[in-house]
Chain A
Amino acid sequence: MAQLDPTALDLQLAVPKRGIRIGRIRVPGWLALLLRNSKSRTGLLIVGFMVFIAIIAPLISVAHPNDFNILATRQAPSWHHLFGTTDQGSDVFSQVVVGARRSLLLGALAGALATVVAAVLGITAAYVGGIVDEIVNLLTNVFLTIPAIPLLVVASGYLRARGMWTMIAVIALVLWAFEARILRAQALTLKNRDFILAAKTSGEPTWRIVFGELMPNMISRIAAAFVLVFYVSLLVDSGLEFLGLGDMSATSWGVTIYWAQVNSTVLQGEWWPFMFPSLALGLTVLGLVLVLAGVDEVSNPQLRTEHKRGRLVRLVFGRAAA
């Protein structure tokens, strides 16, 4: 499900040294740069909105997400139930806002774990080179060749308990290869810069060069790679839950869609139990993709769309459509 291939994400060069003031608030340089690009601005707004909803979820959910009420089952969206109710009479709106917490948290943590594995393996391999590099590269390619979703389906099928941490570990172990390939390629381009050679000649040990020299200089690329794996693991996790292979007692977007599918609400013409969590998921992913696309444009100005369109287009699609 990887849609973007951010092989050349380098914000570092373009980031102003010091933060920029907007009114009274001081904004860090990288954020200001991302906010100036229309794509990543839209993306950040969407993701920020979703995270905000997840944080205030207990305040805005009208009922406990799994409360059931046999007197109010299968109701279409109304003022009383904004997103309608499920066949058990649970409020879909509450399920979506509360589910945002688990879905986003699981996606982010799995993405973070995959990033750590990928950064350590990919950057070390690129720097050390030789047989270590060969092995890591081989492993990465093998993991990219074995289809991830079937592998995850089979692996989680063997699991007896599918708690949050188990799922995070399983997803991260399958997805790290996506990132390792990108980070290794980028570390290779940094490897022969002067500051690395200087560190080497001054006798710094390998682990210090990897963690103290290479990694800090790749932090923006690592962050961009994290965004990529974040949305991939968000998709993968919801997908597994949709198949009934996640923690089905939890409240999350995937679980809500799973029950909508199991009770074949779609075939009965009830679109709301699957449409709202799906929209939330798709919107979050779109936001993250836009952030990445913005980062891509900032670091490679050639990709920017020239604005030749009329006012109407901009009104309908916003500048973000560029």
Chain B
Amino acid sequence: MRWFARRLVFYVFAIWVALTLNFLLPRLMPGSPIDGLLEHLSPAQLAANPGIVQTYEALLGGGHHSIGQDYVTYLHRISHFNFGLSTSNYPTPVSEVVGRTLPYSIFLVGVAFILSFVIGTGVGMVAAWRRGRFTDSFIVPAFMTVSAFPAFVLALVGLYFLGLKAGWFPIQHAYDSNVIPAWSWTFISSAFRHAQLPILVIIAAYAGGWVLNMRTVMINTIGEDYVGMARAKGLRDRRVMTRYAGRNAILPPLNGFAAQFAGAVGGLVFVEIIFSYPGVGYTLQSAVLGNDYPLAQAILVVLSVCVIIANLIMDVLNFVLDPRLRTS
């Protein structure tokens, strides 16, 4: 339990650092982002929202208050999810824009990343178990080669060949334009079809890392005595591979899940932009290019929190799977 408490304290600290970075970044950079921001609002819009400039000053700096005062206001507003109004989606509040786009992203990266973990570790396990055979000498190099390409290249290649030329998948947006987002069968099936190609791209981009990682650990695990013992007992080959060697070899890759997931969230940004998928990544790019800093700030906070929550889930899973953590 001590171990778990330590992790929790670390996550709280990490969120605090993310928030503070978010606070400091616009203040450290030369020039005041406030001017670029206010350019996007007309005088009438400014007059209609009397408190808007103060909100932006608290979030981004440039006001007349001291930095310490600003920091307190900033933390207070963030803790109430008050990120101000989004200038590029005026007059929608930032929190509403994030709330609308986040579910798409979570769905996309969640499904894709779990699938890439399952496929990658599975292939890596089989490759290590049957060294030098078909999986090891064809599928592993294929995964390695594909994963060497950045996500945005794979997305463009997939878009061109699988979407445009072969016409197997829809190439843009999260659902068909004539469908209204609701919990209906038409919407869900449409959303599912539109998510297929982005998910495929993320799997292609990230499964290779798991394959290599799992293969390396698995090769070392196979040499352990208990694997030889299981074999000597006459257990079936597949059972030794999955229940004995694989079960133990999966722990180190699982520990690397955190850093990999943070990387995949980065890849998600590119994939969403290329497929015009209305998630937070797509919104982040348009926010940054359109000087909508409050929205960009909020997305960075939300993505950091998402990564930390994913970490937390992985820690719980690790706790369940690794008895050594429970006894210590």
**Which A residues form the contact surface with B (CB < 8 A)?**
1-5, 138, 141-142, 144-151, 153-160, 178, 235, 238-239, 242-245, 257, 261, 266-267, 269, 271, 274-275, 278, 281-282, 285-286, 289, 293, 296, 302-303, 305-309, 313, 317, 321-322
CB distance from B227 to the nearest CB of A (A): 14
Task: Choose one: B11, B212, B219, B287; the contact of A4 (CB below 8 Å).
Answer: B212
Residues of A near B137 (CB, < 8 A) are 305, 309, 313, 317, 321-322
CB <8 Å contact, B266 and A267: no
Residues of A near B33 (CB, < 8 A) are 158
CB nearest to B259 among chain A residues: A144
Residues of B near A156 (CB, < 8 A) are 288
11 pairs, CB–CB < 8 Å, chain A vs chain B:
A1-B263, A150-B269, A158-B26, A160-B29, A242-B270, A274-B156, A278-B157, A282-B148, A282-B149, A289-B148, A306-B131
Bitwise interface map of B from 143 to 169 toward A, beta carbon under 8 Å scored 1, else 0: 011011111110011011000100000
Q: How far is the CA of A150 from the CA of B25 in the complex (A)?
A: 13
Residues of B near A302 (CB, < 8 A) are 219-220, 223
Q: How far is the CA of A257 from the CA of B289 in the complex (A)?
A: 17
Q: How far is the CA of A267 from the CA of B145 in the complex (A)?
A: 25
CB nearest to B273 among chain A residues: A243
CB nearest to B267 among chain A residues: A1
Q: How far is the CA of A243 from the CA of B286 in the complex (A)?
A: 9
- Residues of B in contact (CB 8 Å), total 76
CB <8 Å contact, B132 and A308: yes
Residues of A near B25 (CB, < 8 A) are 154-155, 158
Q: Assess A261 versus B274: contact at CB under 8 Å? Given A138-B10, A157-B293.
A: yes
CB <8 Å contact, A271 and B160: yes
Residues of A near B226 (CB, < 8 A) are none
CB <8 Å contact, A145 and B262: yes
CB <8 Å contact, B164 and A317: no
Main secondary structure of the interface of A (DSSP, over half): helix
Residues of A near B308 (CB, < 8 A) are 145
Residues of A near B22 (CB, < 8 A) are 154
CB distance from B62 to the nearest CB of A (A): 12
CB nearest to A242 among chain B residues: B152
CB <8 Å contact, A147 and B303: yes
CB <8 Å contact, B208 and A3: yes
CB <8 Å contact, B148 and A3: yes
Stretch at the interface among B13-21, B73-81, B191-199: B13-21
Q: How far is the CA of A309 from the CA of B303 in the complex (A)?
A: 45
CB distance from B299 to the nearest CB of A (A): 7
Q: Assess A154 versus B300: contact at CB under 8 Å? Given A1-B263, A281-B153.
A: yes
Bitwise interface map of B from 165 to 202 toward A, beta carbon under 8 Å scored 1, else 0: 00000010000000000000000000000000000000
CB distance from A138 to the nearest CB of B (A): 7
B55 at interface by CB-CB < 8 Å: no
Residues of A near B291 (CB, < 8 A) are 157
Residues of B near A281 (CB, < 8 A) are 149-150, 153
B278 at interface by CB-CB < 8 Å: no
Task: Choose one: A3, A146, A261, A308; the contact of B18 (CB below 8 Å).
Answer: A146
Q: How far is the CA of A61 from the CA of B132 in the complex (A)?
A: 43
CB <8 Å contact, B289 and A286: no
CB nearest to B306 among chain A residues: A147
Q: Assess A160 versus B14: contact at CB under 8 Å? Given A148-B263, A285-B150, A308-B132.
A: no
Q: How far is the CA of A261 from the CA of B152 in the complex (A)?
A: 10
Q: Assess A278 versus B14: contact at CB under 8 Å? Given A1-B266, A308-B132.
A: no
List of 3 A-B pairs having minimum Cβ-Cβ separation, nearest first: A149-B266, A157-B288, A286-B148
CB nearest to B16 among chain A residues: A142
CB <8 Å contact, A3 and B147: yes
Residues of B near A309 (CB, < 8 A) are 132, 137
Residues of A near B285 (CB, < 8 A) are 153, 243-244
Q: Assess A269 versus B266: contact at CB under 8 Å? Given A146-B307, A239-B150, A278-B157.
A: no
CB nearest to A284 among chain B residues: B148
Residues of B near A148 (CB, < 8 A) are 262-263, 266
Task: Choose one: A147, A269, A307; the contact of B307 (CB below 8 Å).
Answer: A147
B296 at interface by CB-CB < 8 Å: yes
Q: How far is the CA of A156 from the CA of B285 in the complex (A)?
A: 11
Contacts A154-B300, A308-B133 known; 20 new A-B pairs at CB < 8 A = A2-B259, A2-B260, A3-B212, A144-B258, A145-B307, A147-B263, A149-B267, A150-B265, A150-B303, A154-B284, A157-B287, A243-B270, A244-B285, A261-B274, A275-B157, A275-B160, A278-B149, A282-B149, A285-B148, A307-B132
